[in-house]
Structure 1
Amino acid sequence: MQATLLDGLRRPIEVGRNLRSALAGLLSQEFTFSSGHLTAILNGCLFAPSILTFWFVNGVIDFSTAIVIGSVASPAGLQIRLYAYLLLVPTFLLLRAGFHLAHPGHRKRVLSGTCPQTEYLSLDWFSVGILATGLPLALQDLGPWLGMNAVFLVGLFVFPRFLPPRLGMAEKFLAIAAGSALFLFANYGALLPVGPDPASVVGPVATLALTDATTASLLAAVNSVGVGPLLVAAFAVAMNHLLTRPELRDVPLLRHTLPRRDPDRVVVASAAFGTVFYLLVVAAATGELVFVP
């Protein structure tokens, strides 16, 4: 009878140990890199928690940038941009999941708990469609842009080649500060209660501007479904190569704000889809969708 009682106690203990071992094995599988269904979801295949950080940080940066450079024409435009950002990550995740699940090989791997390492879309470049569609408004005052980029070109890419590394790095910081100050002064110096008129100091840098007709034509082209995605994709590819150059990535603070260099096919697809997404949000908010400018 005592043996029977011991056997009765031993059985639940053994079952408990087996369950604990099985659970440990399951969790070990799920949280091993690129293996397990939870990992396939949380480790970047269908979703990644880091995207939420990107969502907030990139949203703050893009909104503030849009206001500073003047790529938002009105409060209504800013409101539409807000709607787009609220829908940005869910739409991106659905597209990425759709790509993986539509591909027969990837679908099989995802459903078996393994994350394919092939990347089709990048949220960095997907979000460019929201900012780039407003750039023609910012570029209407062309002089400050040309002046700032001329300073950047010489100060970041030309002069440092002829200087010792340490002095060259200091010169890069000076160029970034000087170019930014020139842009702000040329754009907003006239609003200061004291100080000289920007046109009298920097001349064409403050006065050169596109005509209203040219700006309207560029804005219509970028915000059309037929042409806009192509223009934004070309812009994104150019930025993908420019912003990832070693001359910029060597700058200690700047390197943390720059995107990584992605394959051009990923950049083109992401920027084009992001532009179409934004134009559809605008269409839903305004009832207008332009196919050809």
Structure 2
Amino acid sequence: MFSQEFSFSTGYLTAFLSGCLFAPSLLTFWLVNGILDFSTALVLGAVISPAGLQIRVLAYLLLVPTFLVLRAGFHLAHPVHRRQVLSGSCPRTEVLSLDWFSVGILATGLPLSLQDLGPWIGMNTVFLVGLIVLPRFVSPSVARGSKASTIIVAPLLFVYAKYGDSFSALPDPAEVLGPVTTFVLSDATTGALLRVVNSLSLGPILIGVFAIMMNHVLTHPEVRSIPVVRHTLPDRDPDRVVLFSAALGTVFYLIVVALATGSLTVIPRI
């Protein structure tokens, strides 16, 4: 009976693999999303040490198998979903999103990037004005030009404000952009934020709230109307799915860190 039910050509294993619990597109998303996320994290400064990068790469390698096990476990534990999955159909209920489940792996390093708070303020101010505020008061053609230029200017502004003082050929960012755009948090403040975000008691909640905010920002009508960029943006997911997926993904990452380092922070020391 076991060999019949779980043979590769017939039975439950076929329904499991060819149904909604797994699809080749997951691996495509995993590869493309990983390249984009890790390259962005390196530029933003969310990963600054080889050890931190290694642990995050390890967690990312385990991401899809863990996600599939969790999703399969939920559907197979639910009596109605179990019958649907084993019959080869997909339950309509969306509980986990791989897009948001992966957020915690790199978002837990954001306090390292936010130490240079000024460049973040400058970049997001340009994004806010160029993508959302200005297009409301100008003609459609001017709005398209504003959005296209904004997605180029804002990242360049961030890179210049953050790394411009490392190049002697460039003028000092503080003199060009002013003190606000080059403001830096203290090491003590950055360390406290890092401990909070990477704690088991507070980290998943904070990352979940951050994911909900990004879910609304990335799916804002003004952002989705940007040519080319709109094809790379996700559809808006329900907040409960985003919160649960991001929080659970953060717990997964913190467990990987604990297994790799032997250290797990439950309540942060501020």
Matches of 1:276 and 1:179, distance apart in 2: 32
Q: Does 1:283 align with 2:258?
A: yes
Pick the aligned partner of 2:218 from 234, 243, 249: 243
For residue 251 of structure 1, give the secondary structure of its aligned residue in structure 2: coil
For residue 288 of structure 1, give the secondary structure of its aligned residue in structure 2: coil
1:37/1:114 contact within 8 Å kept: no
Tell me how far 1:195 sits from its aligned partner: 2.1
Alignment partner, residue 164 of structure 2: 189
2:18/2:88 contact within 8 Å kept: no
Alignment partner, residue 42 of structure 1: 18
Matches of 1:227 and 1:41, distance apart in 2: 36
Alignment partner, residue 256 of structure 1: 231
For residue 241 of structure 1, give the secondary structure of its aligned residue in structure 2: helix
Assess, with a 3 A threshold, how the Cα gap between structure 1 residues 104 and 170 changes in structure 2: closer, same or farther.
same
1:152/1:179 contact within 8 Å kept: yes
- CA RMSD between the two structures: 1.7
User: Which shows bigger deviation, 182-191 or 251-260?
Assistant: 251-260
1:222/1:228 contact within 8 Å kept: yes
Tell me how far 1:39 sits from its aligned partner: 6.3
Amino acid at match of 2:183: L
Matches of 1:107 and 1:212, distance apart in 2: 50
Tell me how far 1:38 sits from its aligned partner: 4.6
Matches of 1:205 and 1:75, distance apart in 2: 31
TM-score, length basis structure 1: 0.85
1:37/1:112 contact within 8 Å kept: no
Identity of aligned residues (%): 64
2:121/2:181 contact within 8 Å kept: no
For residue 207 of structure 1, give the secondary structure of its aligned residue in structure 2: coil
Matches of 2:48 and 2:65, distance apart in 1: 26
5+ long unaligned stretches in structure 2? 1-8
1:187/1:206 contact within 8 Å kept: no
Counterparts in 2 of 1:130-141, with a 5 A limit?
130-141=105-116
Pick the aligned partner of 1:73 from 32, 48, 57: 48
For residue 50 of structure 1, give the secondary structure of its aligned residue in structure 2: helix
For residue 62 of structure 2, give the secondary structure of its aligned residue in structure 1: helix
Alignment partner, residue 145 of structure 1: 120
Matches of 1:80 and 1:269, distance apart in 2: 23
Write out the 4+ residue segments of structure 1 that deviate beyond 4 Å after TM superposition: 36-40
Amino acid at match of 1:41: L
Q: Does 1:208 align with 2:183?
A: yes
Alignment partner, residue 272 of structure 1: 247
Q: Give the aligned length.
A: 259
Pick the aligned partner of 2:204 from 229, 253, 256: 229
Matches of 2:198 and 2:235, distance apart in 1: 27
5+ long unaligned stretches in structure 1? 1-26, 31-35
